[in-house]
Amino acid sequence: MRAEYIDRIYAGWLAKIIGIRLGAPVEGWTNDQIAEKYGEIDGYLVDYQDFAADDDSNGPFFFVRALREGKHFPTIQPQDVGDALLNYAGYQHGFFWFGGYGVSTEHTAYENLWSGIPAPRSGSALQNGSAVAEQIGGQIFIDCWGLVCPGNEKRAAQLARAAASVTHDGNGIWGGIFVAVCISHAFVEREIGKIIQKGLEFIPPDCEYAAVVRAVTDFYSAHPQDWRKCLDYIRADWGYDRYPGNCHIIPNTAVMILSLLYGEGNFDRTLAICCMCGWDTDCNVGNVATIMGVRGGLSEIDYDKWRAPINDFVVFSSVAGALNISDIPEGASYMAQLSYLLDGETPPEPWERIWERGRSLCHFSYPGSTHGLRIRSGGNGKMENISCHTAGGGRALRVEMTGADESLNEIYLKTYYEPADFYDSRYDPSFSPRVYPGQRICCRLCLEASADGKQENVEVRLYARLRGAEGEEDEILYSEACKLGKEEWDTLSWRIPGGSPLLVKEIGLQCATCGDKTSLLLDEFYTEGAAEYEIDFARERTEKWNDLHREISQFTRQKGLCYLEDKWLHLAGTDFGEAYTGDWDWADYEAEFELMPILGEVHYALVRVQGALRSYGIGFTGNGRFGISKKDREWKVLAEIPYTWENGVRYRFTVKVEKERIQVYQDGKEILSAQDSFHPWLQGGIGVSVGRNSHCGIRRIRICVRKM
């Protein structure tokens, strides 16, 4: 793969998030309603505090993981994507629109998969009927397959067909293939007409999807000046009233083609027209923006208008709480790395080194990237990604702070989010922290030379902000202060004290202004090392997003009833219930659980959780037994012993996972162990699970990670 495509993958993923954010406030509106409220659009419609999760970004970010986590790399089968859907989507909440079986296409396919109907039958018209199978979702989650296949349209089409068939059929599949091919071809072609034509080459010429693309293209050729006339034509001949279901793919495809053609290659104008057309605006603008972002690259995406309000920030609403807090470079790097793996090539430097270091690294190597860092300044502060000589790869983040001499300033990264951080509760996000007590905060930085010569020996210190219990103030922990030398790169490192029961909500760098302005260059900002902390449920809280969306702090819930009462976390379920926390990257660790069965027979502490389909359960298996079980969609007992236990009694045990071995200790004595030698789960978070109409309580969990 050509190295220049790495930045274009970033541009495409960035543009996808831009398009979603632009279209989200008017999703489902008509063109007339949008015109009456906003008139001519030329930028974001809502100044979001932080934009919450959206189904259009959830899908591509998690479905692309089917390549690595499935069983058929370097390709995929529909069931690989179906398993990714079941693994990362909560049961009937979050992730996408659970609008009812037979109403929401994704809900219908999810229930089919859940009940054992395999993909692609899960999304087929034979199973669900053509109205359900041909809604818009076949193309709105598909961008990732074009992004991982720069200029390889055939591969993009193959991957997109397998992915779209999990939930859709007919025109729903053709739309997925068309969009993925257009994105792939935009890496090597700038002419919009040729990009559209390439997409048509991979779908049946006699399908309705191809017909609407050709019809809008022909109308544009005859009437190239006025997009509103084309919209009138679409509403008359291809409008919503002609198609069944809540959000059919054909009318929305028509306005996508309209905007691509009438936008005439201009990024801003293309997105604005697509949004002003109405209907499924966040989906349509998101797809169109990805094509345009790849086609034009970062240079054609206005920074102040589109990028600065996003600040590289994106969140998701899967059951993987730590993965739900992300940034745009992370998603782009994951997909770019996959591109090299698919081609069997080694990435060039500095990218190979950057990607090996993982998702905790803020590296600023993408032009304009900020990784979601923020400034809290005593005066005024601003950030700018610049090209300069660094050890990390030739780019750094310049942070300028102005104000009174010795004003305190903080450059920080939020590592946990709460309802108050967001404008709304789109798609019910919930989170686990990105950083934990016991880990080390590191950064590489230097002072820039100042014109007035005052900027010398500025004092800086690292810090972590830990969230207090309900009604308590946050606790802020600081490293020792040190002085930076002018134009000399320094590496700072400080370990957050381990053992705390308080979650880390923010990490950063504090400094004072020196003279009128202080300017720092930040080459890298990252965490490393192992977590050592405690979850005390007396200190956790119920986070209320809205009347129907409440979560337990730092936990994501897959299924079941989860609540806090009398200093305990309670989990109850019918067939089963599960809740998770911790980092997906934890490898070897010890976890001590204080657990109390309340009702029923199946109560598990979970380790190496990789989602709803993959984990190990340690606990009470019914019939007077205690066991170690492995979940690979279904539970399988690995080891079991007789154990007399009672409901209403507290039990404390420690689980140690090291490579393929799982050991269980009680009162310092090993009581059970198992060796999983067949495709073992070698990393993952922690959690709790109940089965068969059971109910249990968890008082506290202590974690000591040995290896990431």
Q: What's the pLDDT score for residue 484?
A: 84
Amino acid at 620: F
Say whether both 307 and 394 belong to one domain: no
CATH of the domain at 607: 2.60.120.560
144 and 112 co-located in one domain: yes
d(CA 636, CA 471): 43
Give residue 49's pLDDT band: very low, low, confident or very high (50, 70, 90): confident
Q: What number is the average pLDDT over the span 644-662?
A: 96
Give the residue-averaged pLDDT of 618-645: 95
Look at residue 324 and tell me if it is in a domain. Answer: no
Average pLDDT over residues 76-104: 97
Inter-residue contact 207 to 174 (CB < 8 Å): yes
Three-state helix/strand/coil letters over 255-270: HHHHHHHHCCCCHHHH
Q: Are residues 383 and 443 in the same domain?
A: yes
- Token couple for 676: 């999983």
Residues facing 532 on adjacent strands: 704
Looking at residue 338, its pLDDT comes to: 97
How many domains does the chain divide into? 3
Q: What percent of the chain has pLDDT over 70?
A: 97
Are 626 and 672 members of one domain?
yes
Q: List, in order, residues 6 or more apart from 686 with CB less than 8 Å away.
A: 580, 581, 582, 591, 605, 606, 607, 609, 701, 703
Q: Write b or e for each residue in 86-111: b if 16 or more Cβ atoms lie within 10 A of its Cβ, otherwise e.
A: bbbbbbebbbbebeeeeebbbbbbbb
Helix (H, G, I), strand (E, B) or coil at 666: strand
Among 303-307, 376-380, 566-570, 605-609, where is mean pLDDT lowest? 376-380
In a domain, 544, yes or no: no
Out of 356-360, 411-415, 614-618, least confident range: 356-360
Q: What is the pLDDT of residue 142?
A: 98
Residue 49 lies in a domain: yes
Q: Which domain CATH number covers 101?
A: 1.10.4080.10
Q: Between the CA of residue 354 and those of 9, 463, 490, 641, 644, what are the distances in Å?
A: 16, 24, 19, 46, 51
- Burial environment of residue 345 by CB neighbours within 10 A (0 to 12, 13 to 18, 19 or more): exposed
> What SS3 class is residue 52?
coil
The answer to whether residues 378 and 302 belong to one domain is: no
Cis? peptide before 204, omega within 30° of 0: no
| Tally of helices (H runs) and strands (E runs) in the chain | 20, 30
Tell me which DSSP letter residue 624 carries.
Answer: S
Q: How confident is the model at residue 513 (pLDDT cuts 50, 70, 90)?
A: confident
How far is 108 from 166, CA to CA, in rounded Å?
Answer: 11
Claim to verify: residue 300 and residue 385 sit in the same structural domain: no
Distances (CA, A) of 293 to 136, 141, 287: 21, 16, 10
* Residue 325 dihedral angles phi and psi, to the nearest 5°: -100, 115
pLDDT at residue number 381: 84
Cα dist from 282 to 28, 103, 586, 683, whole Å: 9, 20, 35, 35
- The answer to whether the CB of 59 falls within 8 A of the CB of 331 is no
695 touches 563 (CB < 8 A): no
Q: Looking at residue 520, which CATH number applies to its domain?
A: 2.60.120.260
340 in a structural domain? no
pLDDT digit string (tens) for 359-396?
A: 889 999 999 999 999 999 866 789 999 998 776 668 99
435-449 b/e with 16+ CB inside 10 Å = b? Answer: bbbbbebbbbbbbbe
The verdict on 44 and 146 lying in the same domain is: yes
Of 260, 282, 315, the domain-final residue: 315
What 8-state DSSP symbol labels residue 241? G
Domain range holding 645?
555-707
For residue range 241-283, list pLDDT tens digits in order: 999 999 999 999 999 999 999 999 999 999 999 999 999 999 9
Read off the tokens for 69: 């986590």
Q: What is the pLDDT of residue 423?
A: 83
The pLDDT value given to residue 636 = 96
Does one domain contain both 523 and 559? no
Tell me, yes or no, whether 329 lies in a domain.
no
List of residues 6+ apart from 529 with CB closer than 8 A: 438, 439, 440, 495, 708
Burial 671-691 (b: 16+ CB within 10 A, else e): ebebebeeeebebbbbbbbbb
Q: Residue 402: what pLDDT?
A: 78
Q: Last residue of a domain, which of 300, 315, 330?
A: 315
For the ranges 321-325, 332-336, 419-423, 493-497, the lowest mean pLDDT is seen at 419-423
Helix 281-296 crosses helix 192-200 at what angle (to 10 degrees)?
A: 110
- Which amino acid, residue 648? G
Please confirm whether the linkage preceding 350 is cis (ω < 30° from 0): yes
From residue 632, alpha-carbon distances to 343, 610, 681 in Å are 29, 10, 9
pLDDT for the residue 485: 74
pLDDT in tens, 303-318: 999 999 999 999 999 9
Which helix or strand (DSSP H or E) is residue 426 part of? none
With a cut of 70, say whether residue 191 has pLDDT above it. yes
Task: Provide the pLDDT confidence category of residue 401 given band limits of 50, 70 and 90.
Answer: confident
Q: Residue 487: is its pLDDT beyond 90?
A: no
Other C-beta atoms closer than 10 Å to the C-beta of 309 total: 16
Residue 14 pLDDT greater than 70, yes or no: yes
- Domain membership of residue 543 (yes or no) is no
Distances (CA, A) of 70 to 67, 612, 617: 6, 15, 22
* CA distances, 511 to each of 363, 370, 464, 475, 596 (Å): 20, 19, 14, 18, 47
Integer Cα distance of 347 and 345 in angstroms: 6
Question: Is position 540 within any domain?
Answer: no
pLDDT for the residue numbered 388? 87
* Whether 305 and 171 share a structural domain: yes
Q: What is the pLDDT of residue 429?
A: 95
The pLDDT, as a whole number, for residue 455 is 63
Q: Is the pLDDT of residue 406 over 70?
A: no
Q: Give yes or no: residues 524 and 578 share one domain.
A: no
The C-alpha atoms of residue 185 and residue 291 are separated, in whole angstroms, by: 9
- Given a contact cutoff of 8 angstroms between Cβ atoms, the answer to whether 556 and 318 are in contact is yes
Residues 498 and 580 in one domain: no
Q: How far apart are CA 17 and CA 390, in angstroms?
A: 29
In the structure encoding, which two tokens stand for residue 209, read together? Answer: 């999807």
Which of 280, 315, 350 is the last residue in one of the domains? 315
**Contact (Cβ atoms closer than 8 angstroms) between residue 362 and residue 413:** yes
Task: Kindly state the DSSP code that residue 688 receives in the 8-state scheme.
Answer: E
Pairing assessment for the beta strands 325-327 and 313-315 based on DSSP bridges: antiparallel
Between 446 and 204, name the one with better pLDDT: 204
Residue 456 inside a domain? The answer is: yes
Q: Both 578 and 512 in a single domain? A: no
**Taking 80 as the threshold, does the pLDDT of residue 407 lie above it?**
no
